[in-house]
Amino acid sequence: VPSTSSDFYAAVALAVGVVALLLTALLIGLIVLLRLRLRHRLRREQLVKERWRPVLLGASSGEAVMPLPALPRQDQACLLTLWVYLQESLRGSANVGLNALARQVGLDKIALRLTLKGHRAQRLLGIITLGHLRNPMTWGALSAQTTSADAMISLYAAQALTRIDPPRATALLLPLLVGRQDWSLLQVAALLVDARSDFAAQLNRAFPGLAPSRWERALKLADALRLTLPLQAHLQVLKYSPTPEILVAALRLAAQPALLPVVRGFVLHASWRVRVEAARFLSRFGDVSDALSLEMLMHDNQWWVRYEAARALQQLPFYGPLALQANQASNTDARTRAMITHVLAEQHAAV
Amino acid sequence: MIAVLTWFILGYFVLLNVAYLALNFLSIAALRRNKQEKLMDTLPQTYSGLAPGISILVPAYNEEATITAAVHSMFQLTYSDFEIIVINDGSHDRTLAVLTEAFALQPFAQAPRDGLPTKPVRGVYRSARHPNLRVIDKDNGGKADSLNAGINAASHPLFCGVDADSILARDALQRVVKPFLNDPLTVATGGTVRVANGCEVHDGALMRVGLPSNVWALFQVVEYLRAFLFGRLGWSQLNAMLIISGAFGLFKTEVVSAVGGYRTQSIGEDMELVVRMHRMLRLQGVPYRIRFVPEPVCWTEAPEDYTTLKNQRIRWQRGLSESLHANWGLMFSRHGGAPGWLAFPFMVLFEWLGPVIELGGYLFMAYAFAFGLVSWQAFWGFLVMAVGLGILLSASGLLLEEMAFHMYPKMRHLALLLLVVVIENLGYRQLNSWWRLVGLYRWASQRESSWGEMKRRGVGKPPLADKTPPPPGLP
């Protein structure tokens, strides 16, 4: 029995359903269109690769290929991508040859245009290209991008600057390198690999003036790049470190025997992570007087502290596996005995 | 009364689909950003050796037929620092013997850790050939218990729980670890799981993507697209993702230990852990991120027969019920944030109680029509709306796939998927709601659900013995 309410309901439900079906038809059309566009793009990319790969490979090995194929606007991004891929895969004179070709084709101008006016993906491509081209004239355009709120854009701009002029770039970027939490530490370390010594010089100079809130990141970066802090700066961090996290980062970086007296004080630290790092340090730089501390750490409540202490004793030249076995025989702590067995088994397996 | 009910049902369906479409828009934004950064993925990768180590935990129960290939395929993963820990959960077959022969296992005197409580560990073995392979042999305690034993033995700051029969992309670890590298607050990440049926698999590695010929598996292809590409990705944008699939997920070892590890009594231990992490970290005021990686990182075999699929869905609904019930405190809690104020209520309203209201709606409308309480126009209007909105959601899942990944390369794949998008809404989804309702009933009545037998055809492998798979999380 149709009622007024029921009819109104029917109209609303039907309207919602029909709108949903119309939208579905639109989506299906969009899906098919996307697929057709993709196929078209892949075909074009294939053509660009077939035409340009021999040219790029020739340029990388110093051969001039003439005449150059035409480069319509819609193929520019594809060629840039191919060029960047080769740049990242090759080293030495190959890069020089590729750069010469890029200038001949006008890729430098295209890259600058994309960096300044492109959408996000194009900007990234432009920035990476400019970095490889190492043209100091693009410094201004790139340094403006390093303050972008977009972590990816700013990080790749920093990398490009580091490629163009490492000493100038590390001086300019140091506050960002140790300050921008949204920059992945791993990526920052990767971009600094070729500017390691410049970064070390800048960091050593700036470290005493760094705010403690920047210490942890600076220490981790230094650790990632296998750098050594100046002794005084390192001692300053170890003595005045405001958090265990910073202390752990500082201890991981510690590679100077002169730090031994300070590090000894950390075997009783409240944080077990600090005790772990202290045991690791002692395994490298400890002397006979540290054996007692390490034996004490083998009774620690934390598994990892016991493990590192046992490993340290096993590695120290004046202690070693035999003394460790002797300790096990006389030890009444079951956890310590089990840990010694574990460490000796690891050593046996490694042999 | 009839009018109120009919409007309630209509309102519910509209609200459900509007909520999903909102998630869809969030996903589109995330995928667009992801696509813009694709160039960096195509460039040669630098291995700095600074990436955090990962312990891959592989619970194994009666896996003698597949475990060797699974471990071999894991050794092929491209990552700089990882170990594999297989946990033999009291298998009755030759799982341990097969591993011992294949990898030259030797007893290893591992010092016990005061970690998560587990069933007794009988022994620990280490491979003489691969220093980064260990096997823990323990009494049977289930998947959650095995994972807890693995966490206790893990040497690395991150652990990755995987199913022994998961097919992992070679760069799976590299992809799911990225959020940990980019944001130190990240405590867990999950990746997209896809249906492996119809794909070509060789020695545990995916060689070619294809579509299954089995209709049940085909329906699940579309379901997985919908669930992962806009369900989880959408919630991830709000840091409110409540599920990371048990088939493949990466976690901070220390954080999972601190919240008590996997709950051994739960069927849906993967979801329960993530919901509990949200609840406890928010309660403690610890800042954290739980992220989703949209790239397909893991492929899993979907059930191809009615009974297995039904049992799986009943289990999943029970798992969902247990996870929500165990963490009820998160709902509208003071510090609940997006998980407590949006994701949890959404799960309760649309996923947990959804089958009751959806099936109730269909039954009520049929009843009202049969007894002349509503007009035939209203009845058909309701059906057009319910089915139309369902098709729209499925199509939007496929759109996301086509925008970002287009994993199914041939035009006929696309045509078939478009067809499935329509027909899965004409019975399959309603059937699914029925299974979920049964799951809800079994949970409410505390009836033990049979885990059932998972009939596996094997993807690119010879047929396997029946076994019980763990639920890969709710799609």
Which residues of chain A make contact with B14, given a CB cutoff of 8 A?
16
Distance from CA of A29 to the nearest CA of B (A): 10
pLDDT at residue B454, as a whole number:
52
Q: Is the pLDDT of residue B475 over 60?
A: no
Q: Distance from A250 to chain B by nearest Cα, in Å?
A: 16
Range A197-203 average pLDDT = 93
Q: How far is CA B44 from CA A108, A129, A185, A210, B173, in A?
A: 22, 15, 19, 35, 16
Look at residue B457 in the predicted model and tell me its pLDDT. 57
- Decide if B375 and A1 are in contact by the 8 Å CB cutoff: yes
By CA distance, what is A220's nearest residue in B? B50
Out of B111, B385, B388, name the one closest to residue A339 (CB): B111
d(C-alpha A299, C-alpha A266), whole Å: 16
pLDDT of residue B447: 60
- The B residues from 31 to 60 touching A (CB cutoff 8 Å) are 33, 35-40, 42-44, 46, 48, 50-51
Q: In this model, does residue A262 exceed pLDDT 60?
A: yes
Give the number of C-alpha atoms closer than 13 A to the C-alpha of residue B247, restricted to the C-beta side. 27
Residue B34 has a pLDDT of 87
- CB-CB neighbors (< 8 A) of A38 in chain B: 406
Chain A residue numbers touching B387 (CB-CB < 8 A): 17
Query: For residue A312, what pLDDT band results from cuts at 50, 70 and 90?
Result: very high
Identify the weakest region by mean pLDDT among A80-94, A249-263, A266-280: A80-94
Q: Which residue has the higher pLDDT, A67 or B400?
A: B400
End-to-end CA, chain A: 88
Q: Which of B202, B66, B189, B58 is nearest to B132 (CA)?
A: B58
Residue numbers in B near A16 (CB within 8 A): 10, 14, 385, 388-389
Buried b (16+ CB within 10 A) or exposed e, A227-265: bebeeebbbbbbeebeebbbbbbbbbbbeeeebbebbbe
| Residue of chain A minimizing CA distance to B397 | A27
Q: Does B358 have pLDDT greater than 70?
A: yes
Question: What are the C-alpha distances in Å from B29 to residues A283, B26, B392, B475?
Answer: 51, 5, 19, 21
Lowest mean pLDDT among A44-53, B25-34, B375-384, B448-457: B448-457
Contacts of B17 in chain A (CB under 8 A): 20
What digits encode the pLDDT tens for the residues B425-471? 999 999 999 999 999 999 998 765 443 445 555 555 433 333 333 33
pLDDT, residue B45, reads 67
Position A241 scores a pLDDT of: 87
Say what angle helices A93-105 and A76-89 make with each other, to 10 degrees.
170
pLDDT for the residue numbered A116: 94
Nearest residue on chain B to A307, alpha-carbon basis: B111
ipTM summary value: 0.85
Average pLDDT, chain A: 91
Which of A60-64, B109-113, B267-271, B344-348 is predicted least confidently?
A: A60-64
- Interface contact B121, partner A, CB < 8 A: no
Residues of A in contact with B48 (CB under 8 A): 186, 189-190, 193, 224
Report the mean per-residue pLDDT for chain B: 89
Cβ of A349 and B131 within 8 Å? yes
Q: Measuring CA to CA, how many Å separate A308 from each of A134, A269, B379?
A: 46, 15, 72
Q: Please tell me the distance from the alpha carbon of residue B379 to that of residue B173, in angstroms, as a whole number.
A: 50
More confident residue, B459 or B354: B354
Interface membership of A33 toward B (CB under 8 Å): no
pLDDT digit string, tens, across residues A88-130: 888 777 888 899 999 999 999 999 999 999 999 999 999 999 9
CB contact (8 A) between residue A303 and residue B396: no
Q: Look at B50 and A189 and tell me if their CB atoms are within 8 Å.
A: yes
List Cα–Cα distances, A88 to A91, A173, A186, A320, B404, in angstroms.
8, 23, 18, 46, 25
Q: Which of B43, B406, B411 sits opposite A84 (nearest CB)?
A: B43
Residue B229's pLDDT band (cuts 50, 70, 90): confident
* Residues B328-348, mean pLDDT to the nearest whole number: 95
The answer, for B111 touching chain A at a CB cutoff of 8 Å, is: yes
**pLDDT greater than 90 at residue A148:** yes
Q: A13–B10: do the CB atoms touch at under 8 Å?
A: yes
Q: Which two tokens stand for residue A112?
A: 């600058």
What percent of chain B shows pLDDT beyond 90? 67
Model confidence at A2, pLDDT cuts 50, 70, 90, reads very low
Residues 226-265 of B with CB under 8 A from A: none
Let me know: does B312 contact B207? Beta carbons within 8 Å.
Answer: no
Residue B220 amino acid letter: Q
A–B CB contacts, 8 A cutoff, strictly below:
175
Q: For chain A, say whether B4 makes contact (Cβ under 8 Å).
A: no
Q: Parallel, antiparallel, or unpaired: how do β-strands B82-89 and B200-202 relate?
A: unpaired
Cβ atoms of residues B39 and A81 within 8 Å: yes
pTM, to two decimals: 0.89
- Burial (CB count <10 Å: 0-12, 13-18, 19+), residue B44: exposed
The answer to whether B59 touches B143, Cβ cutoff 8 Å, is yes
Residue B42: pLDDT over 90:
no
% residues pLDDT > 70 (chain B): 93
